[in-house]
A = this chain, B = another copy of it.
Amino acid sequence: MHAQVGHLSVASLREACSQCNLRELCLPMGLTESELGQLDELVNVRKRILRGQHLYRGGDVFEAIYAIKTGFFKTDVLLEDGRDQVTGFQMAGEILGLDGIGSEKHTCNAIALEDSEVCVIPFTDLEDYSREIGALQHHFHKVMSREIVRDHGVMMLLGIMRAEERLAAFLLNLSQRFTARGYSPTEFNLRMTRNEIGSYLGLKLETVSRAFSRFQDEGLITVHQKHIQILDVAGLKKLLSERRV
C-alpha cells in the first residue's frame, strides 16, 4: 500500500517530537527545548496502522506504549463467552498501551478506526529517560493518572446515568477533545459505528440510534449518518445535570 520503509526513516527525522504539532497535547508536554531534543532519540519509530487493523491484541507481550500521531482508535476487551466491551476511543496526541505495564502483557485490543500512525515508545527506554528528565517523569505520571480519572468517568456513565445522559456526555466529551485539537466543537464525523458507541456506553445499538433520533427531534443536534452537528451545547449539558426523578 505504502512504501513504508523508505518513508518511515525520512519521517523519523522530520517529524520528531520537537517538531510535532501535537507536542503540547502529547507526552512531551511541558518539556524544555533541550529535553525535547532528548525525546527525539526516544521516540524515533513510527508505525502505520490501516483501518480495521490491530495495533496490539490482548495477550501480546508488552514492550512499548504508543502515542497517536494521526488517526483514531478504539480499545476493547473480550470475554470468553464472546461478549465484548469497548473501553475507550483514542485520538491524536493520546497514549495507548498503558494497560500492559502491570502484567507485561496487553490486556485489551487496540484497533484503528481509520488509517492511523502512531509513535512507538519503547517502555524501558521511557523509564530510562524519565529517570533523567524529571519533567518527563512527572508528565508521564499525569498521563497515567488522567487515564484513571477518565476510567472513573466511564464508570459514572455506566453506573448511574440513563441512556440519553450517557450519549450526551459522550458527545460533549468528543466535542471537547476535538476542540483541544483545533477542530470544530460543534461539527464532526464519528469514526465509530452505533454498535461501538453502544458497547462503550453499555447500551445496545438500537438504544443509541433512538437517543440520536430523540436529540435530533428535540433540536439538540443534527445527525446524518456519522456526521454530527451540535446545535445546543447547553441543552446537552442540561441533560447531564438535571435529574428528572
A residues neighboring B (CB under 8 Å): 77, 79-85, 87, 98-103, 107-108, 127, 130-132, 134, 137-138, 141-149, 151-152, 154-156, 158-160, 199-202, 241-243
Contacts and interface: CB of A to CB of B under 8 A. Distances in A.
Given A80-B241, A85-B155, A137-B137, 5 more contacts: A87-B155, A144-B148, A151-B152, A158-B159, A160-B202
B98 A148 contact: yes
Copies of this chain, whole number = 2
A148 B148 contact: yes
Contacts of A199: 159
Task: Please indicate which of the listed interface residues A84, A99, A199 has the most CB atoms of chain B within 10 Å of its own CB.
Answer: A99
Contact of A242 (B81, B108, B143, B147): B81
B85 A156 contact: yes
B102 A149 contact: yes
A131 B146 CA distance: 21
Contacts of A77: 152, 156
Given A77-B156, A85-B159, A151-B155, A144 B101 contact: yes
Nearest to A85: B159
